[in-house]
């Protein structure tokens, strides 16, 4: 059974308001063909001198996305700083801030998180183009190279690669030398942003209509600019925001709350009340970027929902709405006034456990330091501000990009270990999953043809995989021999991720007491030998050599 759910609802609302670039002299790596195209584009947009003189750009417009309408404001400086506010009314608001190096997001529940992983790479790409950094020396580094032409011969294609940022393909019209679109990878395939309705702003052509086409058409977005101004923008707009008032409190008079943890095999659950409901079961899922309620349960409790998002789930997509005004009460702790998402659970998934109501994901887990004791079947939530770990466990660095990620290695017989970026997913009851693109990039990982076929249940639909052992899996200072791995089948959905090697699930994690500390970006593993299980061994010397 695969409890793993939604990967990234928030990515649907990342509207790329890219300022269209221009050029002449290049301080980054640019081949001759790309330089010639960029020079022609510079002239078409209004000329290099006018573009170089722009210190900052403020844009304000209307946005329609996923069945919701609202406003978007965008600030971009020549130094690579960027700020964006997407306001879709009562159910959704998000603020993104990037200072040229680091970035932060204030989410729909008014909580602050650091940008990392793919979300940071996409933000760097947007600021690289928006600040003309591929054209003007002394700004964000990167390179632009020629990628030939489209199949019809109407457009030039340029490959844009900022330092530390996402790689994208720029399409330039051969007749006008104005940018037509920008295509970049996403976890669902690719996202294409189109630039339209070109108008003159102080002698510079700017696109007033921006369309963003996602892998699923339900998530397409349109921004119609109402105003674009060239202006100076104060640096104070791009500092890390102050933390707001906590939206949780411990009701037991302590700085932590301990409660029973339900287990069905390697799947884990915790009970909570929704507003004034009876105790209901929730999957405890580090692999979910949002907290989720079964849509039928939300309606039965009188909760109001809005929007129409198509989100990734194993085997396909599932319909999502936003639900506000939700309170979660657990033994000793209460989380209040949350905006979560509601999803119609498939019958096979909703029957995983009686009174299963949803999934507790990032916007619940991130409020605390979370300790999962698989052996004693307890969950402990600590106040992150006062928590200090003093046990015998080993600390493992993680990065948080809506969900936690870690570097790990997998080894097959007769081959060297292969390193990859793995998602830590307590909503997944298996040991490890290897995604097909990762296996294709490393053919030595290909499972034997006679491998066992497997089906795993998710919210979207059933996903197919094959199961085969790998010789060794390494995580931090620990090594695991003969690990049963699932290998995904097909290129679509989460099994086709280009940025993630695979998943680490509860079958492996349950060999430890595991502590997740998102605020310090670390995970602590305390070995927990169990009868019948092979205990993980440490490899300090090997790890030191790898580092």
DSSP 43-70: HHHT-HHHHHT--EEEEEEEEEETTEEE
Residues in the chain predicted with pLDDT less than 70, given as ranges, are 1-30, 137, 187-189, 310-317, 449-464, 490-498, 530-547
By CB atoms closer than 10 A (0-12, 13-18, 19+), residue 235 is exposed
pLDDT value, residue 396: 97
Distance of alpha carbon 212 from alpha carbon 192, whole angstroms:
6
**Short-list 448, 483, 453, 457, CA closest to 466:** 453
φ/ψ of 450, rounded to 5, equals -90, 15
- Please answer whether residues 484 and 431 qualify as being in contact, where contact means their C-beta atoms are separated by less than 8 angstroms: yes
Core vs surface per residue 132-155: b (16+ CB within 10 A) or e? bbbbbeebbbbbbebbeeeeeeeb
Bridge-based pairing of strands 333-343 and 452-456 is: unpaired
Token representation of residue 187: 């976890």
pLDDT value, residue 536: 66
pLDDT value, residue 494: 45
pLDDT value, residue 366: 94
pLDDT value, residue 451: 62
pLDDT value, residue 22: 39
Distance of alpha carbon 360 from alpha carbon 365, whole angstroms:
7
pLDDT value, residue 245: 84
Distance of alpha carbon 123 from alpha carbon 18, whole angstroms:
10
pLDDT value, residue 25: 37
pLDDT value, residue 402: 87
> 158: which DSSP letter?
E
Distance of alpha carbon 71 from alpha carbon 414, whole angstroms:
57
């Amino acid at each position: 059974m695969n409890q793993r759910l939604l990967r990234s609802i928030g990515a649907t609302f990342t509207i790329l308001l890219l300022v269209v670039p221009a050029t002449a002299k290049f301080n980054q790596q640019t081949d001759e063909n790309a330089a010639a195209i960029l020079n022609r584009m510079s002239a078409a947009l209004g000329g290099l001198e006018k573009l170089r003189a722009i210190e900052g750009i403020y844009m304000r417009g209307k946005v329609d996305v996923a069945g919701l309408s609202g406003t978007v404001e965008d600030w971009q400086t020549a130094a690579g700083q960027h700020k964006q506010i997407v306001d879709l009314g009562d159910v959704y608001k998000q603020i993104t801030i990037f200072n040229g190096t680091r970035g932060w997001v204030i989410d729909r529940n008014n909580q602050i998180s650091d940008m990392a992983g793919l979300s940071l790479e996409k933000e760097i790409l947007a600021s690289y183009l928006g600040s003309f950094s591929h054209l003007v020396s002394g700004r964000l580094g990167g390179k632009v190279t020629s990628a030939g032409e489209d199949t019809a011969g109407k457009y030039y294609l340029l490959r844009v690669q900022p330092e530390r940022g996402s790689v994208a393909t720029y399409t330039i019209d051969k007749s006008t030398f104005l940018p037509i679109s920008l295509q970049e990878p996403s976890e669902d395939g690719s996202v294409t942003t189109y630039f339209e309705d070109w108008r003159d702003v102080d002698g510079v052509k700017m696109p007033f209509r921006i369309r963003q086409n996602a892998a699923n058409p339900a998530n397409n977005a349109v921004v119609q600019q109402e105003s674009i101004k060239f202006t100076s923008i104060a640096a104070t707009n791009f500092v890390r925001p102050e933390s707001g008032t906590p939206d949780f409190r411990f009701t037991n008079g302590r700085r932590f709350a301990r409660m029973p943890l339900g287990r069905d095999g390697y799947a884990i659950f915790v009970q909570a009340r929704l507003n004034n409901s009876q105790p209901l079961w929730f999957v405890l899922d580090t692999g979910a970027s949002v907290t989720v309620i079964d849509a039928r349960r939300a309606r039965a409790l009188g909760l109001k929902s809005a929007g129409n998002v198509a989100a990734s789930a194993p085997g396909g997509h599932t319909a999502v709405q936003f639900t506000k005004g939700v309170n979660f009460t657990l033994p000793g702790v209460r989380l209040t006034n949350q905006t979560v998402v509601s999803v119609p659970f498939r019958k096979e998934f909703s029957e995983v456990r009686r009174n299963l109501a949803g999934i507790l994901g990032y916007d619940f887990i991130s409020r605390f330091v979370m300790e999962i004791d698989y052996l004693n079947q307890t969950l402990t939530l600590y106040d992150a501000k006062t928590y200090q770990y003093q046990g015998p466990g080993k600390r493992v660095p993680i990065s948080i990009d809506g969900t936690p990620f870690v570097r790990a290695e997998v080894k097959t017989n007769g081959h060297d270990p292969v390193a990859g970026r793995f998602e830590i997913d307590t909503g997944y009851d298996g040991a490890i999953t290897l995604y097909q693109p990762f296996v294709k990039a490393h053919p030595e990982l290909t499972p034997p043809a006679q491998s066992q076929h497997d089906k795993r249940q998710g919210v979207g639909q059933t996903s197919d995989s094959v199961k085969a052992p790998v010789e060794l899996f390494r995580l931090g200072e620990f090594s695991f021999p003969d690990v049963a791995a699932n290998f995904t089948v097909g290129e679509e959905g989460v099994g086709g991720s280009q940025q993630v090697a695979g998943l680490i699930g509860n079958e492996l994690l349950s060999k430890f007491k595991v502590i997740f500390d998102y605020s310090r970006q670390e995970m602590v593993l305390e070995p927990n030998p169990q009868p019948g299980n092979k205990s993980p061994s440490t490899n300090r010397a090997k790890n030191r050599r790898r580092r």
